[in-house]
Structures are given as C-alpha cells and as structure tokens.
C-alpha cells in the first residue's frame, strides 16, 4: 500500500500551510495498492524525530479500503479521528 500527497514531494518538507505554523490542515492524500482483503484502513501520522519524542499529528481509523483520495482539510466519510498530541 502507498500513500502520497500531491502537495509535496517524498522526503521533502511539508509546506507550512499544513503545519501548526499555517492553517494546520491535512494535505491532500492519494492512496494506492490497498490489499484486496483489507476491511478497513488506519492512518497514523507521527513525527519520530520530534524533540520531545514521537509526536502524533493525526490519527484516523475506520477508513473504507475503497477510498482512493483524502482531499485537503477533510476526513473520509464514516471514519473516526483520534486525539493528537496537540490535544485535538
């Protein structure tokens, strides 16, 4: 399975718009090559290099395996967002 964003290149900095220094919204994501037997997907966006230890930026579960894109500033229908380390 592969998840990419059209907003930035692999291994490059995330544009400020998608950080706490900007709008603090999720970038657009494209999901490919989901295993055929997947019943549901989970997305965990964390930062293992954060100064205080791993920082969780975003968690989403109950994502349909049929979802191919997550648009900017949105969460897939019927999915659930978890608490992040920023308390949201």
The architecture of the domain spanning 2-81 is Alpha-Beta Complex (3.90)
With 0-12 / 13-18 / 19 or more C-beta atoms within 10 angstroms meaning exposed / middle / buried, residue 84 is middle
pTM: 0.88
- pLDDT digit string, tens, across residues 43-54: 999 999 989 889
Could you give the 3-state DSSP secondary structure of residue 65? coil
In the chain, what are the domain boundaries?
2-81
* pLDDT category of residue 3 using cuts at 50, 70 and 90: very high
pLDDT at 88 over 80: no
- pLDDT digit string, tens, across residues 67-78: 999 999 999 999
pLDDT over 90 percentage in the chain: 77
């Amino acid at each position: 399975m592969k998840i990419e964003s059209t907003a930035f290149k692999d291994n490059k900095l995330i544009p400020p718009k998608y950080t706490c220094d900007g709008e603090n919204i999720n970038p657009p994501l494209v999901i490919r090559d989901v295993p055929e037997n997947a019943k549901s997907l989970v997305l965990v966006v964390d930062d293992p290099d954060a100064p205080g230890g791993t920082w969780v930026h975003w968690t989403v579960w109950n994502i349909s395996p049929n979802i191919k894109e997550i648009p900017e500033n949105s969460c897939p229908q019927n999915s659930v967002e978890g608490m992040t380390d920023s308390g949201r």
